[in-house]
Amino acid sequence: MKNRHKYPRRQQKERSYHDPLSREDVWFYRQKPHRWGFAVLRPVRWTQITSVSLIVFCAILQMVPARITGYFIDDVLRNRDMTNFVFLIILMASLPLIESALYFVGRICAQISSQYGLAVLRDVLFDRLMRSDQRFFQNTPPGEIMARLTGDLDMVRYYWAWLLNVTFEQTALFIIGGIYLFFLNWILALTSLFLTPLIVYLASRYSKEIRPFWTSIRRQFEKLNTVVEENITGNRVVR
């Protein structure tokens, strides 16, 4: 029986890194889009990790001003304790500034890593196109090629620059917020988390139902690109 992949099993186990842009390692990243995305950003992985860490830290900082406001109302306004008045005012004024600065740095790091990945993918795709034979261009509509070089690459960049950070940010908010609610009132926490499984189920079902529509929209976009490209080329030939 022939080996399924190019590398023998022993060599597959010994290899610690698989090139996400190599044709020989396509099998390793099949059905693993997230691992493939992280592998492409391997040269700038610390920039991406810094971005995710800063944004998650900013998400946690969003809960601190509410707690400080509670102390301010209980101790300063109600009990007339002016001992920590200046400290609380400075803390309430400085935390939003610190959070905004860290969030800005995190977004800049995300843009740097995403633009790097976008440039790498474009170079690889253009190199593959230059090396492709005439049969490939005869069997592949021009609209599909344009869609892969524009819309598809932009969605990958959007995943690196935005969706990845938002996923970690919302996950951190959900976990930290749930723990904080349990410390405040476990009945309130259970009441708030009661509908979470239902929301997850409805969201996953909605995602499965809407996926064919997005696929259809992408196919129509490819046809539109093909028609536009053929019309422009035809006008040039006629002229």
How many percent of the chain have pLDDT more than 90? 13
pLDDT tens per residue, range 73-107: 777 777 777 777 777 788 888 888 998 999 999 99
| Measured distance CA(120)–CA(233) in Å, rounded | 29
Top pLDDT among 64 and 142 is at: 64
Please tell me the predicted confidence (pLDDT) of residue 239: 54
Task: Please state, in angstroms and rounded to a whole number, the distance separating the CA atoms of residues 33 and 36.
Answer: 5
Q: Looking at residue 140, what is its pLDDT?
A: 78
pLDDT at 116: 93
Question: How many other C-beta atoms are found inside a 10 Å radius of the C-beta of residue 134?
Answer: 7
Domain range annotation of the chain: 33-194
Does position 147 have pLDDT exceeding 80, yes or no? no
Q: Are 157 and 114 in contact (CB under 8 A)?
A: yes
List, for residues 43-67, the tens digit of each pLDDT value.
Answer: 998 999 999 999 989 888 888 877 7
Instruction: Select the more confidently predicted residue: 102 or 129.
Output: 102
For 156-196, the pLDDT digits (tens) are 898 999 988 888 988 888 888 888 888 888 888 888 788 88
Residue 234 predicted with pLDDT over 70: no
- Please answer whether residues 5 and 104 qualify as being in contact, where contact means their C-beta atoms are separated by less than 8 angstroms: no
Task: Report residue 16's pLDDT band, with 50, 70 and 90 as the boundaries.
Answer: low
What's the confidence (pLDDT) of residue 47? 93
pLDDT reported for residue 237: 57
Closest by Cα among 59, 54, 57 to 106: 54
- Of the chain, the percentage scoring pLDDT greater than 70 comes to 89
Residue 9 pLDDT exceeds 70 = no
Q: CATH assignment of 33-194, given 3.90.1150.10, 2.70.98.60, 1.20.1560.10, 1.20.1260.10?
A: 1.20.1560.10
In the block, tokens 């209980």 appear at 74
C-beta atoms surrounding 186 within 10 Å: 10
Which candidate, 209, 206, 174, places its Cα nearest to that of 192? 174
Q: Categorize the per-residue pLDDT at 15 as very low, low, confident or very high, splitting at 50, 70 and 90.
A: low
